[in-house]
Copies of this chain bind each other. A is one copy, B any other.
């Protein structure tokens, strides 16, 4: 049987995955969640028709949303992850030997499915340092604080998570950070959504003294070029060296990922 899932990158571009079977399907009060087994990419988590993660290439996304901000901080001990219900960002954060990691995921169903069917990614939940909070991240950071690093592992700035890319949310994040704190945030693809992408940088710059955009190759995300932002009131530089095994990130990539093609630089400056 020829059974495909295709993500529409735009109304006119789609990436199709041949599917072996559907592993799980749930409709939560927030969204529609599918987990597929694919031929080429292992397990594929899809939310509202959008690829969230695959077991073959998730290492790139999770390493790159976590290690640049974590290596920017000299001693990150208390970490907050907003979103990241699959547990992948927490898994990478644990490699830095933190004291506590808080994952704030709005949708319990995502966590349930990932715990049950994606242990490769979600096993971090078994670590006693990882604390899961099922709640809205915006409300959580108004109440909690003293974080060294905050990682915003949400859906894209063009979708329902648009609130997480605005000045007032960044103000709340800043209050929830220690003085030398660092944040990172995935901010979509500059190739397909240049306006949203450059807006993120502008909004961050209103709140933080230092903002850097960096990029990584993610084969299953639209255009394959994915952007992240780091922000801090301390200069953004690598303060520690890599001291564990990785599959994508390395010490040179810390800086080379911030070396942007001219067309991307232009969107950052406009």
Residues of A with Cβ closer than 8 Å to B? Answer: 4, 6, 10-18, 38-41, 60, 191, 215, 217-219, 223-225, 246-250, 252-253, 255-257, 259, 261-263, 265
Contact = CB atoms under 8 A, between A and B. Distances in A.
Nearest to A38: B12
Contact of A262 (B40, B41, B223, B249): B249
A223 B257 CA distance: 18
Nearest to A17: B13
A267 to B, nearest CB: 12
Contacts of A13: 15-18, 40-41
Nearest to A265: B250
A36 to B, nearest CB: 12
A69 to B, nearest CB: 18
A12 B18 contact: yes
14 contacts: A4-B14, A6-B16, A12-B18, A12-B39, A12-B40, A16-B16, A60-B261, A218-B224, A219-B225, A223-B224, A224-B224, A247-B261, A252-B259, A253-B261
Contacts of A265: 250
A255 B262 CA distance: 15
A254 to B, nearest CB: 9
Contacts of A6: 16
A6 B4 CA distance: 13
B261 A259 contact: no
Given A217-B224, A219-B224, A253-B259, 19 more contacts: A6-B16, A10-B40, A12-B18, A12-B38, A13-B16, A13-B17, A13-B40, A13-B41, A14-B16, A16-B16, A60-B261, A217-B217, A218-B224, A248-B263, A249-B261, A250-B265, A252-B259, A255-B256, A256-B257
Contact of A248 (B11, B247, B256, B261): B261
Nearest to A259: B256
B224 A246 contact: no
Nearest to A20: B12
Max chain B C-beta neighbours (<10 A), residue from A12, A38, A191, A263: A12
